[in-house]
Structure 1
């Protein structure tokens, strides 16, 4: 699956919204990716994860264990692990830090790959990798369905993405006039506000 084909899948899933959005970081952007819409279709999710698994094999070879941060990474992590016939475990927050819970453990000498849904700033990935290194895991790299940084993010490990594109974002004091004219909304897991005729339109990638 090419980058353009993967982006087309995301568009068809209705994952892109144009408008004026305030991200968790406090920065403003003209396009928001509602990644959860991708996972409402199990067939599409399977198709995308099979394509990502193919890229993973080409880059890293055999993988023994997939690790993903909860909550967003669980679905793609599990699907990729299923395709690769690998063990799957996930990380959860405890006292503000990602860690292994529920009796999960990383097999000794296993080739471990971090799998995420979307990577932008890379903070979640860096926190996950820090924890895995602390556990002395044999981490070979990371993979994600969508790299929203357009390939510019540095998570401290090799990264493979299925789809890569860049969406500009701005600090509150540098918002372009045309964006400032649109009333801002704060999207995310608590909901997405559709912006009239722009709702669901694909980002220029």
Structure 2
């Protein structure tokens, strides 16, 4: 899929929204990507994940890892497309970890997938979990990079199906707050 096709799909499913939003990162934005508006359609989720997998078909990926919640669907479908297993991380006592018996063997090659990335904080935690369990984070694949190209995972390369340069504001600097525009809290906040 091309970036334009991905964007058209997100618009078609009303995944790209306008308003005044509190993001998981704590930042405010006039735009929000509601991933579940597109992920609720299995056929579209499959198409998006096949496009993510296509970039890594020759990378000898053994396991696809995604963070709870949207990352579970993406890991599963991307793993299916690559013919690998799929596992996920989740928080326990505020710390990202593997639970439910998930583990990695030493040197296991992992593709990390995520839905929407703004600051990359959650993905950095997943990379740390993979490394702590002996795995090798080969790459990060994102559905949407809304960081404006600012997100960086050090020595772990990253790709995205769609790059959005969407403005974000610290709460104290938010012009939408200053204009008195009501804020919407969508998805998970406060980690």
Indicate whether the TM-score tops 0.5. yes
**TM-superposed deviation, 1:182:** 5.4
Q: Which moved more, 1:75-84 or 1:161-170?
A: 161-170
TM-score when scaled to structure 2?
Answer: 0.89
- 2:2 maps to which residue? 2
**TM-superposed deviation, 1:15:** 0.6
- 2:75 maps to which residue? 77
Matched position secondary structure for 1:173: helix
Bigger Rg, structure 1 or 2? 1
**TM-superposed deviation, 1:7:** 0.9
Mapped partners of 1:113, 1:73: distance in 2: 12
TM-score when scaled to structure 1?
Answer: 0.84
Mapped partners of 2:107, 2:168: distance in 1: 41
- 1:164 maps to which residue? 163
Assess if the C-alpha contact under 8 Å between 1:27 and 1:170 holds in 2: yes
Mapped partners of 1:12, 1:62: distance in 2: 34
- 2:174 maps to which residue? 175
What is the aligned length?
187
Matched position secondary structure for 1:88: strand
Assess if the C-alpha contact under 8 Å between 1:20 and 1:182 holds in 2: no
Structure 2 regions of 5+ residues with no counterpart?
none
User: Deviation per CA, 1:48-81, whole angstroms, max 9, x where unpaired?
Assistant: 1111111233xx6221111111112000110000
Mapped partners of 2:128, 2:165: distance in 1: 26
Mapped partners of 1:105, 1:25: distance in 2: 28
Alignment partner of 1:62 out of 57, 60, 74: 60
Mapped partners of 2:99, 2:177: distance in 1: 43
- 2:37 maps to which residue? 37
**TM-superposed deviation, 1:168:** 0.2
